[in-house]
Amino acid sequence: MSDRPEDKNQDQATPQGGMSKGLTSYGDAGFSLFLRKAFIKGAGFTDRALDRPVIGIAATGSAYNPCHGNAPQLIEALRRGILMAGGLPMEFPTISLHESFAAPTSMYLRNLMSIDTEEMIRAQPMDAVVLIGGCDKTVPAQLMGAASAGLPAVQLITGSMLTGSHRSERVGACTDCRRYWAKFRAEEIDAAEVADVNNQLVASVGTCSVMGTASTMACIAEALGLTVAGGASPPAVTADRMRVAEESGAAAVGAARARLTIDRILTARAFENAMRVLLAIGGSTNAIVHLAAIAGRMGFSLDLKALDRMGRDTPVLLDLKPSGQHYMEDFHHAGGMATLLRELKPLLHLDALTISGWTLGEQIERAGPGFRQDVVRSRANPIYREGGIAVLQGNLAPGGAIIKQSAANPELMEHEGRAVVFENAADLAARIDAADLDVTAQDILVLKNIGPKGAPGMPEAGYLPIPLKLARAGVKDMVRISDGRMSGTAFGTIVLHVVPEAAVGGPLAHVRSGDRIRLSVTRRELTLLVSDAELAARARSAPVVSPTAERGYRKLFLDNVLQADEGADFAFLQPTASRRPVPDS
Ligand code: FES
């Protein structure tokens, strides 16, 4: 079959673009292109097809990743959108990560996935890329990789799962997973009931149905301008999600033609918008680490003190679990991000550009007027008057720590108590349920060595279980402190991301059971009531040796991972030029 010249259309890639990009070097560019085309024609392509702008599709469908279980349908819709807009879709696999199927923790592999994504975008000929992501670490990894690769990039979210029903009660992963497991631990429900609910918590493929990390990153991707309008909220198995996929394909072709590279989208103003949205949705604390990592790739550093200041005038508006009552599908029915952004307008940089070519302000206008709904509150009637996340300082966390105040117990946010210390996750597992554990509900549980280097990979172990004997006595919450993270679907008075972590010799390493700790969320204070001299003496008597590894990815990880406030990225993946702060005050 030969291509007719009259069939050649205006959608051709530039001589340096499309299939001509990044040729393998044999010292003869003409031969390299000739060879490449010969191979791809083996798959049945014509010259006419190969002359189009090439849109890569980072495909992360995997049998191990039910959060991406709709990837085949998304790719079909994406391909339709790309072809209709005059592009050539080319899908390629990358690493895929699911929270429950990536040991020791998906966070340990996030940076590896970002390297895979970046290098595959660089290595293969494409003019723009669509990133199919959803489960917690996938969207951060893809945005980190795409930010470093520098091409036009569109994030296509897989979408949330549907909610299920257990004995007429609506349930969804994973806030309700924790709630039901806590009931089982407290012997409020039996093994048969906990098995029943296990069948209902995840009612379809898709990401967790509450405002956990996946939903938070979906909203942040839209706030950053990297999805098409309305790309955050449609559930995975809906027609709306497929339409978003088709539109994402068209947007990628438009961005390729306009050379709308990712640096024009990921500006300081876009990151500031994302910080506002994170606060207003009562989003996952994990998103701070991920946002810091993505910003770091673009040469920005997130100013956590400024985030805290922004939180004081950014109320939580979104009434979703774990801070509120509803689920992601309700948010979608309430208009999704357009409804939220419309309410937040006075606090946003409306001139920030989005990947569709419209500014954020134009996107909000194009979404039309709002309507009556009960999921996104007005700023005059928020569900929480300040932003969801507060940043703490003090001698226990010289580099800062955070607490999700919107999911915490108000009675514990001003609290002084005796420390009950666990040296690491294994120590916690061995002793937390022991009948002779010396603990009361007024104590503060402290877990060391679950930071970026400590575990390693900063697992979501910061949601320490309530000791069994207290749980059975009806205790639902205690102050808990660690250098780790917690799932965005969790709730409680939980201090996380203590910097520096114990494994690099932070003060947390030297806390002992019986020490007193003061938490004041009002004053943003986290104080270990032990003198500097005593802490220094403890450090001298028990110096910390940071973990190392002999070989492989573990060595790469331990040698290079940064602390939580820098996104727990690898130092060598960030630009060497000095960082600009966000927000730029
Ligand atoms: Fe994938 Fe929750 S496990 S989003």
The three-state DSSP-derived secondary structure of 261-328 is: CHHHCCCHHHHHHHHHHHHHCCCCCHHHHHHHHHHHHCCEEECHHHHHHHHHCCCECECECCCCCECH
Residues with CB under 6 A from ligand 1: 67, 98-99, 135-136, 174, 207-208, 212, 214
- Which among 259, 273, 258, 257 is positioned nearest to 225, based on CA atoms? 273
* Distance of CA 242 from the midpoint of ligand 1 (Å): 20
* Distance of CA 101 from the midpoint of ligand 1 (Å): 10
- Using left for φ > 0, alpha for ψ between -120 and 50, and beta otherwise, residue 346 falls in alpha
Q: 518 forms bridges with which residues in the sheet?
A: 416, 527
Residue 15, pLDDT score: 58
* Distance of CA 213 from the midpoint of ligand 1 (Å): 8
- Residues 144 and 293 sit within 8 Å (Cβ to Cβ): yes
* Distance of CA 6 from the midpoint of ligand 1 (Å): 49
Residue 387, pLDDT score: 86
Q: What is the DSSP letter of 78?
A: H
**Band of residue 324 on the pLDDT scale cut at 50, 70, 90:** confident
Residue 585's identity, in one-letter code, is S
Instruction: From 107, 136, 328, 487, give the residue whose CB has the most ligand 1 atoms within 8 Å, as the site to mutate.
Output: 136
Let me know if 308 is exposed, middle or buried by CB neighbors in 10 A (0-12, 13-18, 19+).
Answer: buried
SS3 585: coil
Question: What is the C-alpha to C-alpha distance for residues 304 and 289, in angstroms, rounded to an integer?
Answer: 11
Record the tokens describing residue 287, joined without a space: 């998103």
Q: 207 forms bridges with which residues in the sheet?
A: 160
Mention every residue, 6+ apart, whose C-beta is less than 8 A from residue 198: none
Average pLDDT in the 310-325 region?
A: 92
Q: Return the ∠ at Cα 420 (arms to 418 and 425), rounded to 5°.
A: 155
* Distance of CA 214 from the midpoint of ligand 1 (Å): 6
For residue 156, the surrounding DSSP H or E stretch is strand 153-157
Residue 24, pLDDT score: 81
Average pLDDT in the 427-455 region?
A: 97
| 157 phi/psi in degrees, rounded to 5 | -80, 140
Give the ligand 1 atom nearest the CA of 66: 1
Average pLDDT in the 356-366 region?
A: 97
Flag whether pLDDT at 11 surpasses 80: no
Residue 338's identity, in one-letter code, is A
* Distance of CA 73 from the midpoint of ligand 1 (Å): 19
Residue 576, pLDDT score: 86
- Which among 370, 278, 368, 369 is positioned nearest to 318, based on CA atoms? 278
Residue 230, pLDDT score: 98
**Band of residue 6 on the pLDDT scale cut at 50, 70, 90:** very low
- Residues 110 and 140 sit within 8 Å (Cβ to Cβ): yes
Flag whether pLDDT at 7 surpasses 60: no
Residue 1, pLDDT score: 35
**Band of residue 13 on the pLDDT scale cut at 50, 70, 90:** low
Residue 311's identity, in one-letter code, is G
Question: What is the C-alpha to C-alpha distance for residues 259 and 237, in angstroms, rounded to an integer?
Answer: 32
Residue 490, pLDDT score: 81
* Distance of CA 272 from the midpoint of ligand 1 (Å): 26
Parallel, antiparallel, or unpaired: how do β-strands 525-528 and 397-404 relate? Answer: unpaired
The residue whose C-alpha atom lies closest to atom 3 belonging to ligand 1 is: 99
Q: 154 forms bridges with which residues in the sheet?
A: 130
Instruction: From 99, 284, 460, give the residue whose CB has the most ligand 1 atoms within 8 Å, as the site to mutate.
Output: 99
Q: What is the biggest distance separating any 2 CA atoms in the chain, rounded to whole angstroms?
A: 84
Share of the chain above pLDDT 70, in %: 97
Least confident of 70-74, 144-148, 303-307: 303-307
Question: What is the C-alpha to C-alpha distance for residues 383 and 391, in angstroms, rounded to an integer?
Answer: 20
Instruction: From 62, 98, 162, 284, give the residue whose CB has the most ligand 1 atoms within 8 Å, as the site to mutate.
Output: 98
**Band of residue 4 on the pLDDT scale cut at 50, 70, 90:** very low
* Distance of CA 136 from the midpoint of ligand 1 (Å): 6
Residue 10, pLDDT score: 47
Instruction: From 68, 101, 135, give the residue whose CB has the most ligand 1 atoms within 8 Å, as the site to mutate.
Output: 135
Give the ligand 1 atom nearest the CA of 98: 1
SS3 130: strand
- Residues 504 and 483 sit within 8 Å (Cβ to Cβ): no
| CA-CA-CA-CA torsion sign (171, 176, 177, 179) | negative
- Note the pLDDT tens digit of each residue in 490-547: 889 999 999 999 999 999 999 999 999 999 999 999 999 999 999 999 999 999 999 9
| 327 phi/psi in degrees, rounded to 5 | -120, 170
Residue 444's identity, in one-letter code, is I
SS3 215: helix
* Distance of CA 141 from the midpoint of ligand 1 (Å): 15
The residue whose C-alpha atom lies closest to atom 2 belonging to ligand 1 is: 208
Pick the residue with more confidence: 406 or 378? Answer: 378
Tell me what the pLDDT averaged over the chain comes to: 94
Instruction: From 62, 161, 208, 460, give the residue whose CB has the most ligand 1 atoms within 8 Å, as the site to mutate.
Output: 208
* Distance of CA 135 from the midpoint of ligand 1 (Å): 5
- Note the pLDDT tens digit of each residue in 544-577: 999 999 999 999 999 999 999 999 999 999 998 8
The residue whose C-alpha atom lies closest to atom 1 belonging to ligand 1 is: 135
Average pLDDT in the 238-262 region?
A: 98
Record the tokens describing residue 130, joined without a space: 């669509």
Q: 169 forms bridges with which residues in the sheet?
A: 166
Record the tokens describing residue 372, joined without a space: 């009556």
| 183 phi/psi in degrees, rounded to 5 | -65, -40
Give the ligand 1 atom nearest the CA of 489: 2
Give the ligand 1 atom nearest the CA of 173: 2
Share of the chain above pLDDT 90, in %: 90
* Distance of CA 102 from the midpoint of ligand 1 (Å): 12
Flag whether pLDDT at 368 surpasses 60: yes
Residue 322, pLDDT score: 85
* Distance of CA 518 from the midpoint of ligand 1 (Å): 34
Residue 407, pLDDT score: 86
- Note the pLDDT tens digit of each residue in 334-356: 999 999 999 999 999 999 999 99
Give the ligand 1 atom nearest the CA of 214: 4
Angle at which helices 552-560 and 106-123 pack, to 10 degrees? 100
Measured CA distances, 527 to 288, 379, 395, 516 (Å):
22, 33, 5, 9
CB atoms within 10 A of CB 385: 12
